[in-house]
Structures are given as structure tokens and as C-alpha cells.
Amino acid sequence: MGFNILICDDSALARKIARRNLPSELAANIFEASNGMDALEVLAHQRVDLVLLDLTMPVLDGIAVLEQIKARKIETFVIVISGDIQPFMQKRVMELGALGFIGKPLQVKPLEDLLTRYGFLLPSTLVG
């Protein structure tokens, strides 16, 4: 069974990298948005299990999206993927309900670790 995933980033390349790095067994449907307003529009009309969210975007940034998800009581999980790795920003996104924060460029291992920790992926077993 796959999940509905929304990748929200103003960079088409970053969205492509995120899509490529999602484990194949994870996603049933992948939606994309290039800014926070478009992301909220998708969230208003689709059930989305997981959002991969950039912070620095035009029109509506990632912090505003997190605030709106909380204010509107949208049931979804969010992982922030951003180049803004300042500790206060990481703390802020966690206060707003994000599961975790991954710096850019996106690394597969931290993403898989978060997805496993929150039950999106089964723990892999090493065959030795």
C-alpha cells in the first residue's frame, strides 16, 4: 500500500530530486506544488499522508504553510527539506508540527531514517 505524497518546492529540480529519492514502495500518488499557496490548494482537495516541504518559496513560504496546516487542522505529516538550516528555524518548524528537518541537498539516508521512525517504511534488515 502506498501513500499520497505532496512535494512542495519552488525548484523543479528539487522536486525531481525528492521524487527520485522517495523509496518506490512508499508512494501511490505524488502531487507537486511550486509554492505554498498551491500546496494548500492540493491539501484542500486531496487526502495527503505526507508533505515534503521547502521553507523558502515565493507566494507563501513553508512556515506559513505549516501554520495553515495547524490552523485548518489538516491531517497530514510534514518533513521539511530546506537549505535554511539555522537552529532557530529547525526549532520553529518542529514547534509547528513537522516530523523532522532535512537540509538540502536532500540526502537519502536521513529521509529514510525519518520515514522509518514514523512508520512510513518498515525497518530494513541487514543480511550479513
Is 128 part of a structural domain of the chain?
Answer: no
What is the domain-level CATH number for residue 44? 3.40.50.2300
Non-local (6+) Cβ contacts of 6 within 8 A are: 30, 31, 32, 33, 39, 42, 43, 46, 48, 50, 51, 52, 76
- 94-116 pLDDT per residue, tens: 999 999 999 998 988 999 999 99
Global model pTM greater than 0.85: yes
Is 122 part of a structural domain of the chain?
Answer: no
How many domains does the chain divide into? Answer: 1
Which residues of the chain fall below pLDDT 70? Answer: 1, 124-128
Q: pLDDT value at position 124?
A: 66
